[in-house]
Amino acid sequence: MPIDLAALPDDPGILRDLVSHAEHENAGLRSVNDDLRAEIDKLHLLIAKLQRHRFGQRSEQMDPDQLALALEDLEQAEAAGDEAAQAGTADGQTRERKRRQRNLGALPDSLPQVEVVVDLEEKQCACCGSALHQVGETVSRMLDFVPASFRVKVIRRPRYACASCDGPPVQAPAPPRPIDGGMASEALVAHVLVSKFADHLPLYRQAQIYERHGIRLDRSTLGDWVGRACWWLRPLYDRILSHVMAQEKIFADDTTLPVLDPGRGRTKTGRLWCYAVDDRPWCGSAPPAVAFVYATDRKGERPAAHLSSFRGILQVDGYAGFGKVVKARADDALALAFCWTHARRGFHEFHQATQSPIAAEALARIARLYAIEAEIRGQSAEHRLAVRRERSRPEIEAMHTWLDEQLPRISKGSELAKAMRYVLRHWEGLTRFLDDGRIELDTNTVEREIRRIPLGRKNALFAGNDTGAEHWALMATLIGSAKLSGVEPLAWLTEILERIVAGHTKANEIDTLLPWNWKTQAALPAAA
């Protein structure tokens, strides 16, 4: 209620009561205003999230693939404009081509070469009629393409009989096939696997491609090949999974995988749990690898079962199930390191929606940590640890003091306060990198491996059943580990299928087929 300044009482006590009452009301109004502002900021942030979910990118940075698509269109338009301008040149004028600055790439010497000679029809001088003699030549190289072709692999096994006795005929035993009674060679089966799980081509699309070449293959036939190939490759998958779990530090995350639920007319939401190891940022000796494990849900007992034999540091996001895994362990052999990318995300989203200076300050402080990490990436764990103790620890301590000072000044219900509480709640795991040079600042290693799953999911929509989902996990493991090792998946899968089908399945022989070992062996003949 407003106070009439012209009718104020003369009694000092009454005046003090009026002032005290007014201050109390103003405090109440400020509290209400703070709550309303927090609610408005929350709604702005929610709208921004929904708009980004519906129309834009969900990550903090633009997807490089999406940016590449836009650049491709610009380059195409520029090239078309150049050709149109050159085509409009008047007859009789030299069409001077615009030299464009671009990386044309290099043609590897290993490619087969086909020579095309463009020669004069008449090799006589136009002036005197004498015969011309060659004084040199101009050579240019173009990258050509021969469409993929099929061939029939005919296996002949001569049968022999003895002319001196009545013994039965003899012949060499038939070589093993990846598909008993089938017509697919190991190379063709490997091509189907890579096309489906690396190039994200569903089997029905592959069948359409084959039909253009005159080869009629039912989708069910291709599915049968995939299932049988996955059975052959299961020992290699198990070996890669055990390799990952035997390391002292791994990354973990999960993603959804829709799976057809027969009888219900819809899909159920399965999960692909991803475990990765990559010690290259700190010069570790373990070969990089990734292992996917399918589960029907996201219950905490799933990662607990997967990690039952693991001892070391598990770097994860803030999923509470991983914390339960640690609490369920009777020993102290498992410790969690958390991800600064996930800690940063709340501040980034709030800043995008509200331009908050406090959120901007938080982002700047986290950016300084990443700047230090960029300088020491690829150094030894000991060197990284020394630099972190000298430069990162003061930043971390100052950040904790700053968060403690700012949090009480912010409405408890605001998204900014939630982002701050997230950081403080996970502080021990977020700062564990200060005491171990092997730990990364984030889980981007496993995030990059998981990114391939949504690409395949977008094309295939869902797995046909739980077994199909397990095959998805198996092939994502093999192809992902091959790429981490710098191995071309098609050549690798072709050879290992040949060797596994031929009976090379003992433990020591399986180890030679692992992508990091296969890469070394493949390089030996060239080095010799």
Amino acid (one-letter) located at 445? T
Burial profile 14-35: b = 16 or more Cβ within 10 angstroms, e = fewer: eeeeeeeeeeeeeeeeeeeebe
What's the start-to-end Cα distance of the chain, in Å? 95
| Tally of helices (H runs) and strands (E runs) in the chain | 19, 7
Kindly report the pTM of this predicted structure.
Answer: 0.76
Residue that the structure tokens 């000044």 belong to: 409
Three-state SS string over 420-454 comes to HHHHHHCHHHHCHHHHCCCCCCCCHHHHHHHCHHH
For residue 489, which of 320, 219, 301, 290 has the smallest C-alpha distance? 290
For residue 275, which of 318, 313, 221 has the smallest C-alpha distance? 313
CA 480 from centroid of its chain's CA atoms:
9
CA distance 264 to 17: 71
Residue that the structure tokens 């770097």 belong to: 315
For residue 292, which of 456, 498, 98, 83 has the smallest C-alpha distance? 456
Which three-class secondary structure state does DSSP give residue 508? helix
* Per-residue pLDDT of the chain in tens (528 residues, 90 and over written 9): 555 556 667 777 776 776 776 666 666 666 666 667 767 776 776 676 666 655 555 444 544 554 454 454 555 555 556 656 666 654 445 455 555 555 555 777 878 888 888 888 888 888 888 888 888 888 888 778 777 778 888 889 899 998 888 889 999 988 888 887 778 889 999 999 999 999 888 888 899 998 888 889 888 888 889 998 999 999 999 999 999 999 999 999 998 888 877 666 677 888 899 999 999 999 999 999 999 999 988 888 888 889 988 999 999 998 888 888 888 787 788 999 999 999 999 999 999 888 999 999 999 999 999 999 999 999 999 999 999 999 999 999 999 999 999 999 988 888 999 999 999 999 999 999 999 999 999 999 999 999 888 776 666 656 767 888 899 899 999 999 999 999 999 999 999 999 998 886 766 788 889 999 987 555 544 333
CA distance 53 to 259: 23
Amino acid (one-letter) located at 418? K
The H or E element that residue 260 is part of is: strand 249-261
CA distance 334 to 116: 65
Question: 310 near 328, Cβ under 8 Å?
Answer: no
| Encoded tokens for 14 | 């009454």
| Encoded tokens for 458 | 């977008």
Residue 233 class from Cβ within 10 Å (0-12 exposed, 13-18 middle, 19+ buried)? buried
CA distance 279 to 3: 71
| Encoded tokens for 128 | 């005197």
Cα-trace Rg, the chain = 33
What per-residue confidence (pLDDT) applies to 25? 67
CA distance 180 to 357: 67
Question: 260 near 462, Cβ under 8 Å?
Answer: yes
- Alpha carbon dihedral 468, 179, 200, 109, in 10-degree steps, equals 150
For residue 316, which of 287, 370, 276 has the smallest C-alpha distance? 276
| Encoded tokens for 393 | 């620890």
Residue 117 class from Cβ within 10 Å (0-12 exposed, 13-18 middle, 19+ buried)? exposed
What per-residue confidence (pLDDT) applies to 130? 87
Question: What beta strand segments (E) does 185-241 contain?
Answer: none
**Residues in a beta bridge with 314:** 250, 336
Strand pairing class (334-337; 289-295): unpaired
What per-residue confidence (pLDDT) applies to 330? 73
Question: 423 near 343, Cβ under 8 Å?
Answer: yes
Question: 486 near 330, Cβ under 8 Å?
Answer: no
